[in-house]
Amino acid sequence: MVGVRPDGNTAWGDSWAVAWRALLASRVVVLVAGALAAGLLGLDPRHTGFDPAGITTPYGGLGDALLGPFARWDTTWFVAIAQDGYGGGAREAFFPLYPLLLAVGGTVTGGETVLAGIAISTACAAVALTLLHRLVALDYGPGVARGAVLATAFMPMSFFLSAVYSESLFLMLSVGTVYAARTDRWAWAGVLGGLSAATRSAGVVLLVPLVLLWWDAPGPRRARDLLWLALVPAGVGVYCLYLWATGGDPQAPFAAQDVWFREFAGPFLGAWDGFVAAWEGARQLLSGSREPVFFAQAGGDPFVVARHNIELFAWLVAGLWALAIGLRRLPLAYIAYVVAALALPLSYPVVPQPLMSLPRFLLVLFPLAIAVAAWASERRWRGPVLLTLGTIGLAVYSAIFATWHWVA
């Protein structure tokens, strides 16, 4: 086990101050880069095919540019569910807790579901970073805790934390789940874990670190504490029961993944598929020609496909690097959580784009941010370099996202 809880009494106010400053600074980057890109460069002309309802067009040109960094792509799915509910097809792939919060927020704001979603996501991100600071301070002290908050807030994909997506809600609940277990609040760990699983199916994986933390907890192990963890898979079960009770298919949340061409390839074999796709992409770009097509599964412009697959594989390499440096810096429970969580996307790759959405999945795997922060704390130059690179990447990806170009 790493550390001896050198700062277990960190004040909530201190954690909150670190969190909101990091979040505010990083959101300025997101807003400025995204809004300028949308306003000056315009939107991908194909965006109307992905957003037929035009969820941000009622706000006018300026409003659309300002909302662009927060309301693109999957936002349309969440808003549709919040306003109209589930109706079969692919909607059931999006678990219900975040759309439910959107529906409540839309009622409070007089139907402004998008604005409510931005507020909800940003608030959840602030709480998530506060909890992360407190969790990391238990074992590593305030310096590494601050580094973990900055690593998360300025990760190039962190624009999702304030977008109308479920990332910030899931991060808040998953960090809260582990923090509750680390502070011997097992009932809270079970409740928050269940809510995590009602946000994303991957929340069930939180059982892995929770059981290991229970086993490794100081003092006698209490069976009643372990029983609380049964609430974690209940989050998925309640959703499936709801679909069944309302005349839907209780297996729909999993069958709906077929819409995105996710298929079981074998344990972690999606990593190999991602490597092959990136290799073929490199061959395509180096050939300087669109024919022959080296990775024909995706269709579309082979140069665009090539760049996406190379980029996604680079994210896999970055994630594995963070996991590797965490092997001697993180407790077993955290390592096991990352491995178990990565098993899902890497065992069920997307045929046309094997590593699709992997950067978003890495964003919410908070032990990776802890590992990077612990590594950066060992040399004074590492933190500033990582922060600079993260800020540049965050600006670039915010601009890409805001202009309706595919990111992850």
pLDDT per position as a tens digit, 4-23: 344 455 788 999 999 999 99
Report the share of the chain in percent with pLDDT over 90: 80
Three-class SS state of 350: strand
Write the DSSP symbol of residue 354: T
Helix (H) or strand (E) holding 182: helix 167-182
Cα angle 316-22-179, degrees, rounded to a multiple of 5:
70
Question: Which contiguous run of DSSP H or E holds residue 234?
Answer: helix 231-245
**Residue ranges of the chain whose pLDDT lies below 50:** 1-7
10 Rama class: left (phi>0) / alpha (psi -120 to 50) / beta: beta
The dihedrals phi and psi of 7, each to the nearest 5 degrees, come to -135, 45
Q: What is d(CA 30, CA 53) in angstroms, rounded to the nearest whole number?
A: 24
Question: What tokens appear for 242 in the block?
Answer: 């709801």
Residues 339-365 as b/e (b if ≥16 CB within 10 A, e otherwise) read ebbbbbbbbbbbebbbbbbbbbbbbbb
What is the rounded CA–CA span in Å between residue 333 and residue 323? Answer: 13
Tell me what pLDDT residue 47 has.
86
- CA 157 to CA 394: how far, in whole Å? 6
Residue pair 160/114 in contact (Cβ under 8 Å)? The answer is no
> Residue 7's pLDDT is what?
42
pLDDT value of residue 282: 97
The DSSP line for 80-124 is HHHHH---STTGGGS-SHHHHHHHHHHHHTTS-HHHHHHHHHHHH
How far is residue 382's CA from residue 378's CA, in Å, rounded to a whole number?
8
Closest listed residue to residue 193, CA positions, set 222, 145, 235, 223:
235
For 213, the token pair is 């933390």
**Residue 350 token pair:** 């997307």
Please give the Cα distance from 322 to 21 (Å, whole number).
25
Residue 6's pLDDT is 44
Question: Tens digit of pLDDT for each residue in 240-297?
Answer: 999 999 888 888 888 887 777 888 999 999 999 999 999 999 999 999 999 999 998 8
Widest Cα–Cα separation across the chain: 66
